[in-house]
Structure 1
Amino acid sequence: MRISTAQMFNQSITSVLDKQSATSKVLDQLSSGKRVNTAGDDPVAAIGIDNLYQQNALVNQFIKNIDYATGHLAVAESKLGSAESLVSSIKDQVLRGVNGSLTDIDRVTIANEMRSSLEELLSIANSRDESGKYIFSGNQTSTQPFAFDTAGNIVYSGDSGVRQAVVASGVTVGTNLPGDSVFMNAANAIGDFSVNYLPAQVGEFSVESAKIVTPGAHVPVAPEGYTFTFTDNGVGGVNLEVFDSAATSQVVVANFDPTNPVSFNGIEVKVDGTPVPGDSFTMSPQTEVSIFDTINQAISLIEDPNKVNTPQGSAELAQLLDNMASGTKQIDFDRGIAGNDLKRVESYQSSHADEKLVNSSALSLLEDLDYASAITEFEKQQLALNAVSTLFSRVGSTTLFDYI
């Protein structure tokens, strides 16, 4: 078979280029420290490397979400701890304010202290995060959640939304606590109704509980409300008659005994104490109470010299203290939610850190370069390149005239 000069030249140059390419590949590996720089280096390993990088990118996003959730939940938990302590302090101020040895001026002073504490509680409820967003406004983070209305009551302008952060595949955690849940929706301490005690009250009594115990038998009449009237039974005791808002008698209890609950229209009412003839009180539906309203009512009670330390004032005080305890319990409940969520995200953060470590180890096995082997291969390829280059230069300069 004849080999032309051109054919020999092409074969020689191809051999040189192949050796240069092999040398360059090893040189790239040494420069990057990676055994696999392109899919062509190792197609099977490249697929595994790509999957591991995607998993790490997802884990990194989870960790960022956890950092965000942790920061917001930690701030919320801290603020609620301050709110809980503040409400407890206000409760102590209420108990000081109803001390019978105080003068009216002393009570006004205590009421002013309570009003300052209420404003401090309002400031906590209107707290912002590091970006200036309101913490307790639900999804309405740009809207101030709490403010006084024209009547002097504190109203909520946020919503009940809970912002979620994805902290693992298929797992979300709330990053905020809506203000209505924390400060506005505490359970009414006595049940499903609130009680309005009247100035004419003489007997020392209060309503211990008022609950709908048989929902199927309860027929509310709008506007729903009930009046309890105590009358003389002629033998040293009292009779009780309950009227609805239409002045229709609901139940008559002869020889009323406070140890026995009063039942009507699916409702059960327990009275603690001893009413006397002529006493009366009204009752209206209310299943939830606002801690702000409760504190406002306590301030009004202490400031009113005609009510404090009267049977009416004592009955209202009992209801207010119970509702204040309920408000504290609600704050503590939501604080517990924040604390539990913090524990959850910390657990996921730990598992993500472990997963990232495993992925990084697997990546190292797949793509990291064995420098000793790579240097040996580089020297081998360089030696081969030099040999081929030398041969090419010699063959390229050879002609028939060298043998004539």
Structure 2
Amino acid sequence: MRISTAQMFTQNSNSILNKQSAVNLATQKISSGKRVETSGEDPVAALGIDNLNGKNALIDQFVKNIDYATNHLAIAESKLGSAETLVASMKDQILRSMNGSLQSGDRQVIADELRESLQELVSIANSRDESGNYIFAGFKTDQQPFAFDNSGNMIYSGDSGERTSGVATGVAIETNIPGDQIFMNAPNPLGDFGANYLAGQTENFQVKSAEITNSTPRTVVAPESYTFAFTDNGTGGVQLEVFDSGSNSIYTDTNFDPTAAVEVNGMAINISGTPGAGDSFTLEPLTAVSIFDTLNQAISVIEDGQLANTPQGNSELAQILDYLRGGTDQIGIIRGKAGNSLNSLESFKSAHVEEKIVNSTALSMLEDLDYATAITEYEKQRLALNAVSQVFGRVNSTSLFDYI
């Protein structure tokens, strides 16, 4: 068969190029350390590699989310711990102020200490994270959440937004705690009403609970105030008469028993102590308590010289302590919730780390290169390339004149 010079040149050139490609591929595999570079080399392995890489990428994102959530919840949990300790200290100061032997100057010192502690509590509530965002402001992280208005009432400028972060497939954990849940909306430990003790009180008593009993869910059907007035019943005891907000008498107990609950208009009221003739108090609907306003009220009572060491002042301070107990419990509950979330985040992160180790082991089996085999293949292809190149060089230089 006759072979043309052009055909011979083309065949040898293609052979050299093929061997060069084989050498380059072997070199690339040794350099990358990967057995499978393209899906065409091993379609089944390539599919498994893509799936495992996708799972590891998702795990990496979950771990980033967990780290973000952990940082923010750890800051919040720490701040709540400081707030809890501070409020407990303020409760002790209020109890100390109820000592009847204190002079007005001593009570003023306590009031001043409480005012400083209150400012510290506001500072905690306005804490920021490492990025300068307010951690207790809900979604409004760029706006200071807590501030007193001109009347001394606390205003919450944040919202109730709760940000979440995906930490596992189908699992999202809250990464922030809105400040109104913590400091503004503590459940009223008395129930559904708050008591206002009136001037002229002669005996020490306190409303321990005032709850709606005839509705589900518990809501005030007629949100109004009630007045409880005690008078002499003429037999050595006291008579209780209850008036609604329109001053209409709706209940009378001619021989009031302080050990029994007063049940009137769908409410149950329990009183600790024995009111005297002429004593009175009012009930106002109150289901949630602001810890800031409660502390402000405590300072006002302690500084009021006319209320100090009086039955009315003692009753008000006793109720304030109940409110603070509710506020402290609320902080503790939310702090515990943050702590539980931190534990969950740690568990999820550990699970992700273990899963990634398993995935990486399987990935290594599919794509990692056997260097001994790869180097052998490289040497084989390099020798083949050299041989082809030498043959091509000799054939290319062959001439008829060599045989004449």
- Normalising by the smaller structure, the TM-score range is over 0.9
Whole-angstrom CA distance in 1 between matches of 2:134 and 2:6:
80
Measured at CA, do residues 218 and 16 of structure 1 come closer, stay the same or move farther in structure 2, by a change above 3 Å?
A: closer
User: Displacement, 1:5?
Assistant: 3.0
Counterpart for residue 70 of structure 1: 70
Residue 239 of structure 1 aligns to which amino acid in structure 2? Q
Contact 1:189–1:319 under 8 Å retained in 2: no
Task: State the match for 1:281 in structure 2.
Answer: 281
Cα–Cα, structure 1 residues 402 and 156, in superposed 2: closer, same or farther, change >3 Å? same
Structure 2 residue ranges without an equivalent (≥5): none
Instruction: State the Cα RMSD in Å.
Output: 1.6
**1:374 Cα shift?**
0.9
Match of 1:50 in 2: 50
CA contact (8 A) 2:189 2:322 kept: yes
> In the aligned structure 2, how far is the partner of 1:234 from the partner of 1:142?
64
Deviation at 1:221, TM superposition (A): 3.4
SS at match of 2:196: strand
1:209-240 deviation line (CA, Å, top 9, x unaligned): 10001116987435x11001112211111111
1:377 and 1:119 mapped to 2: Cα distance?
A: 76
**Which amino acid in 1 is paired with 2:350?**
S
Equivalence for 1:139: 139
Check the 8 A contact 1:243/1:251 in 2, yes or no.
yes
Q: TM-score, normalised by structure 2?
A: 0.96
Counterpart of 2:222 in structure 1 is 221
Residue in structure 2 matched with residue 25 of structure 1 by the alignment: 25
Q: 1:285 to 1:219 in 2, by over 3 A?
A: closer
Q: Deviations over 1:35-58 (max 9, x none)?
A: 222333333322222222222221
Rounded Cα–Cα distance in structure 2 between residues aligned with 1:272 and 1:247: 25
> How far apart, in 2, do the equivalents of 1:267 and 1:329 lie?
25
Classify the secondary structure of the residue corresponding to 2:313: helix
- Measured in 1, the distance between the counterparts of 2:108 and 2:191 equals 31
Do the aligned residues in 2 keep the contact of 1:218 with 1:266 (CA within 8 Å)?
Answer: no
Question: What's the CA shift for 1:400?
Answer: 4.2
SS in 2 for 1:130: coil
Contact 2:220 2:285 in 1 (8 A): no
Q: Is the 8 A contact 1:218 1:267 kept in 2?
A: no
Q: Which residue of 1 aligns with 2:371?
A: 371
The alignment partner of 2:257 has SS state of: coil
Aligned partners of 1:399 and 1:43: how far apart in 2?
48
Aligned to 1:125: 125
What code does the residue aligned with 2:26 have? V
Partner of 1:165 in structure 2?
165
**Superposition pairs of residues 64-213 of structure 1, within 5 angstroms:** 64-213=64-213
Contact 1:128 1:134 in 2 (8 A): yes
Tell me what 1:8 maps to. Answer: 8
Q: What pairs with 1:259-338 in structure 2 (closer than 5 Å)?
A: 259-338=259-338
Deviation sequence 1:43-88 (CA, Å, 0-9, x none): 3322222222222221111111111111100000000000000001
Assess if the C-alpha contact under 8 Å between 1:111 and 1:299 holds in 2: yes
User: Separation in 1 of the partners of 2:230 and 2:346?
Assistant: 59
Shift of residue 250, structure 1, vs aligned partner: 1.7
Kept after mapping to 2: 8 A contact 1:219/1:265: no
Return the alpha-carbon distance in structure 1 between the equivalents of residues 229 and 345 of structure 2: 56
1:121-152 Cα deviation digits (max 9, x unpaired): 01000000000000101111011010010101
Distance 2:246 2:342 in 1: 52
- Contact 2:212–2:220 under 8 Å retained in 1: no
Give SS of 1:375's match.
helix
SS in 2 for 1:215: coil
1:398 & 1:244 partners in 2: Cα distance? 124
Percent of pairs identical after alignment?
63
5+ residue gaps in structure 1? Answer: none
2:283 alignment partner, SS class: strand
Q: How far apart are the structure 1 equivalents of 2:235 and 2:248?
A: 26
* Alignment: residue pair count: 403
Pair 1:219–1:76, CA change in 2 (3 A): closer
Measured in 1, the distance between the counterparts of 2:44 and 2:393 equals: 39
Amino acid at match of 2:158: G
